[in-house]
Amino acid sequence: MSPAATLSLEESRRTVLRAADELFYARGITGVAMSDVRDASGVSMRRLYTMYPSKRELVAAWLTDRHEAWMMWFTTSIDRHSAAGADPVLAAFDAIAEWVTAPGYRGCAFINSLAETNEIDDSHRAIIASHKHDLIEHLANLASRGRPNAPLWLPTALGVIVDGAIVHCAVFSSTEPLDAARSAVRQLLETIPT
C-alpha cells in the first residue's frame, strides 16, 4: 500500500472514469479509442489495462458509474425544482430542461450506448435496462405522492415520455419536445384519480 508515488489506484480510477465519461458521451463508444482515454486521463496504457482488462469492461464501469451519478443529479435536481410546491413529476421535466440546454447535450448516454451495442455484449444491455428500470421506479415514487390510485401503467408511461423527450430534444437540438411533453403530462395527471 504505497501512500502516493504518482497516483493512487482510486485516484486513477476516478480520473479514468471522468475522462471516459466525457469522451464516450461526446463521441460514442466506438468513436473513442483506448489511447484517447489514456491521453485524456494521463494514465498509462499499462495502468488502464490493469484496472480494466478490456474496453468492454471499461465501458461497463463507465455505464455503472454514470448511472449512479445521473440518478444522483436527477433526484437532487428534482428536489430543487419541486421546492416551490410544484408537482414533483413536473419538476422532473424542469430538471431535464436544465440538462437539455447545457452545452454538449447529446441525449441519453444509455440509449445511445444501446444503439452501439451488438448481440454479444449482454452485460452492457443489462446495465442499460437496469438504469431505465431505476428511472421508472423513481418516477413511480414521484407520481404516487398524493395519487395512491394511479393506474398501473402510469410509471411506465412516464418513463416512456421522459425518454422520448430526452431523445427528441437531441434530434432537434431544441427544448420544444420537452415543453410539449411537460404540457401533455400536466394535462394527463389532472385526469388521474387521487
In the window 3-42, what residues touch DNA (CB under 7 A)?
Answer: 3, 5-7, 12, 30-35, 42
Query: Per CB under 7 A, which region of 2-10, 76-84, 110-118, 137-145 contacts DNA?
Result: 2-10
CA distances to 90, 126, 193 from 148, rounded to whole Å, are 17, 30, 8
Q: What is the separation of C-alpha 74 from the centre of its chain, rounded to a whole number of angstroms?
A: 9
The site partner of 44 among a second copy, DNA, none (C-beta below 5 to 8 Å per kind) is DNA
Among residues 53, 161, 154, 62, the alpha carbon closest in space to that of 116 is found at 62
Dist CA 85 CA 45 (whole Å): 51
Given a contact cutoff of 8 angstroms between Cβ atoms, the answer to whether 146 and 190 are in contact is no
The site partner of 132 among a second copy, DNA, none (C-beta below 5 to 8 Å per kind) is a second copy
Q: What is the separation of C-alpha 126 from the centre of its chain, rounded to a whole number of angstroms?
A: 14
Question: In the complex, which residues of this chain contact a second copy (CB under 8 A)?
Answer: 27-28, 30-31, 107, 110-116, 118, 128-129, 132, 151, 153-154, 156-157, 159-165, 167-168, 170-172, 176-177, 179-181, 183-184, 187-188, 190-191
**167 lines the binding site for DNA (CB under 7 A):** no
Task: Tell the residue number behind the cell numbers 395519487, with chain if given.
Answer: 147
Q: Which residues would be at the binding site for DNA (CB under 7 A)?
A: 2-3, 5-7, 12, 30-35, 42-47, 49-50, 53-56
